[in-house]
Amino acid sequence: MATYILLLEFLALACSVALASDHSPLQDFCVAEPNSPVLVNGLVCKDPKLVQADDFFFSGLHLPGNTSNPVGSKVTPFNVAQIPGLNTLGVSMARVDYAPWGVNPPHYHPRASQMLTVLEGTLEVGFVTSNPENRLITKVLQKGDVFVYPVNLIHFERNVGYGNAVAIAALSSQNPGAITITNAVFGPKPDISSDILVKAFQLDKKEINFIQSQF
């Protein structure tokens, strides 16, 4: 019996150690030091004694983005690259501007979920569920409305009004990343073989070559 009790105590101790984790940061902040030669999964911390207010500051959210491009939208990010103080905090933002009938093309964020808040205009938004269902979930948003995109799901926005539209995106990563589907499929360097894309999209090679030439 004593041996049995001792074994249970050992297992309980082992489990408590294995399940231990940090539930809060180990220091007040970890301001990114982008020039450090050390490579880590993230960014090295600057010496806290050298941290200044500007490490937590960025101005420009009020400035409209240039939407004079083929898709008619412009994303202005505010992540750890612009605000070093975001390092390890797991949040970032972006301003998205849309020309009339402009589109933020189908894309996804490999490291973040997203909340989109409409500041001006009317947006059609949506995301697609994963295989095999591939169900489109979509809604038209007005000023003041909020919509959520789950992490890793393809999503998009379209300005369905006749004036400009503006939205703010809040993301659950300091560096959420963005993979635009058309750019990734038709514009990588080197190109994906057109033979692969012909089968994938059920188009002929001339059509595939033309689409690739646009990227």
Answer yes or no: do 55 and 136 share one domain. yes
Verify that 195 and 96 share a domain, yes or no: no
Residues 107, 83 share a domain: yes
Is 155 annotated among the ligand-binding residues? yes
User: Do 199 and 157 share a domain, yes or no?
Assistant: no
Q: Is 35 helix (H, G, I), strand (E, B) or coil?
A: coil
| Burial call 175-211: b when 16+ CB within 10 Å, e when fewer | bbebebeeeebbeeeeeeebeebbeeeeeeeeebeeb
Tell me: do 86 and 144 sit in the same domain.
yes
> What pLDDT does 121 receive?
98
Supply the pLDDT for residue 22: 56
Q: Hey, what are 74's tokens? A: 């412009």
The dihedrals phi and psi of 10, each to the nearest 5 degrees, come to -65, -45
**62 in a labelled binding site:** no
Its pTM stands at 0.84
Ordered per-residue pLDDT tens for the chain, 215 residues:
555 454 445 445 444 444 445 556 678 899 999 888 887 888 899 999 999 999 999 998 899 999 999 999 999 999 999 999 999 999 999 999 999 999 999 999 999 999 999 999 999 999 999 999 999 999 999 999 999 999 999 999 999 999 999 999 999 999 999 999 999 999 999 999 999 999 999 999 999 999 999 99
Based on the domain organization, do 161 and 207 belong to the same domain? no
Q: Is 23 annotated as a binding residue?
A: no
Q: Are residues 96 and 185 part of one domain? A: no
Instruction: Find out whether 129 and 188 touch, Cβ atoms under 8 Å.
Output: no
Residue 195, Cα to own-chain centre: how many angstroms? 31
Give the total residue count for the chain. 215
- 168 and 183 in one domain? no
Please, what is the angle between helix 194-201 and helix 205-213, to 10°?
A: 110
Q: Which CATH number does the domain housing residue 170 bear? A: 2.60.120.10
Q: Are residues 167 and 122 in the same domain?
A: yes
pLDDT at 18: 46
- The two structure tokens encoding residue 89: 């905090």
Q: Which domain holds residue 208?
A: 179-214
Q: Are residues 52 and 130 in the same domain?
A: yes
Specify whether the CB–CB gap between 88 and 42 falls below 8 A.
Answer: yes
How far from 176 is each of 14, 101, 114, 139, 157, CA to CA, in Å?
Answer: 35, 26, 9, 24, 18
Cβ burial, residue 112 (10 Å; 0-12/13-18/19+): buried
Residue 52 falls inside a structural domain: yes
- What pLDDT, on the 0 to 100 scale, is given for residue 39? 79
Per the CB < 8 A criterion, the answer to whether 150 and 125 are in contact is: no
Say if 15 falls within a structural domain. no
Helix (DSSP H) and strand (DSSP E) numbers for the chain: 4, 10
Q: Is 107 annotated as a binding residue?
A: yes
Domains of the chain: total: 2
pLDDT of residue 40: 83
Same domain, 173 and 191: no
In a domain, 73, yes or no: yes
Q: Are residues 50 and 133 in the same domain?
A: yes
Give, for 14, the enclosing helix (H) or strand (E): helix 2-18
